[in-house]
């Protein structure tokens, strides 16, 4: 991995999202369906996403993932049906921009975990991935994903 790992302070930001349980094999289908539902709902409201879409991982059990698919938005908006109002929490995060196929992200995560340990931090809360493009737009080698882990000082 050649991207820089950074410690940043994130401001809280409102979101619209869909949260569900899934297996890792279901993720590609659920991600696409969820983003489409949220984008369609936002269009109904006359709004646009504030930033790139994200996936939040509340658990990392690949057979029983607890995940949230969503969009950061510029202002609070009501949920509708399975679409829920939420927010990205404020606080320190360790992040890096990863370039390449999703299947190669484990190495990048391992480097982030090493940086966290080496710098006397520990992960807290939810892990986030923000997607700057998709496999429908670019070759897998050109995919850009920002990986972000909330942390606290040990």
Q: The domain spanning residue 65 has which CATH number?
A: 3.20.80.10
pLDDT tens string 22-81: 998 998 899 999 999 999 999 999 988 878 999 999 988 878 899 999 999 999 999 999
Query: Strand, coil or helix: what is 100?
Result: coil
The domain total for the chain is 1
The neighbouring-strand residues paired with 144 are 99
Query: Strand, coil or helix: what is 63?
Result: coil
Tell me if 132 is assigned to some domain.
yes
Tell me if 61 is assigned to some domain.
yes
Tell me if 148 is assigned to some domain.
yes
Tell me if 1 is assigned to some domain.
no
Task: Provide the domain limits for residue 130.
Answer: 6-153
Tell me if 109 is assigned to some domain.
yes
53-56-62 Cα angle (round to 5): 125
> Who contacts 84 (Cβ-Cβ below 8 Å, separation ≥6)?
16, 17, 18, 19
Tell me if 118 is assigned to some domain.
yes
pLDDT tens string 76-106: 999 999 999 999 999 999 999 999 999 899 9
Tell me if 115 is assigned to some domain.
yes
DSSP annotation string for 3-47:
SPPEEEEEPPEEEEEEEEEE-GGGHHHHHHHHHHHHHHHHHHHT-
Tell me if 46 is assigned to some domain.
yes
């Amino acid at each position: 991995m050649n991207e820089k790992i950074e410690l940043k302070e994130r401001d809280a930001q409102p979101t619209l999202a869909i949260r569900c349980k899934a297996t890792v094999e279901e993720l590609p289908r659920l991600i696409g369906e969820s983003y489409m539902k949220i984008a369609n709902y936002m269009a109904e409201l006359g709004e646009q996403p504030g930033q790139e879409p994200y996936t939040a991982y509340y658990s990392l059990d690949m057979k029983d993932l607890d995940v949230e698919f969503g969009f950061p938005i510029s202002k609070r908006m009501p949920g509708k049906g399975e679409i829920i109002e939420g927010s990205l929490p404020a606080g320190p995060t360790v992040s890096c921009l990863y370039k390449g196929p999703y299947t190669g992200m484990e190495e990048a995560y391992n480097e982030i975990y090493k940086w966290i340990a080496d710098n006397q931090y520990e992960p807290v809360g939810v892990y986030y991935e923000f997607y700057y493009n998709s496999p429908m737009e670019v070759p897998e080698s050109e995919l850009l994903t920002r990986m972000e882990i909330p942390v606290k000082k040990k």
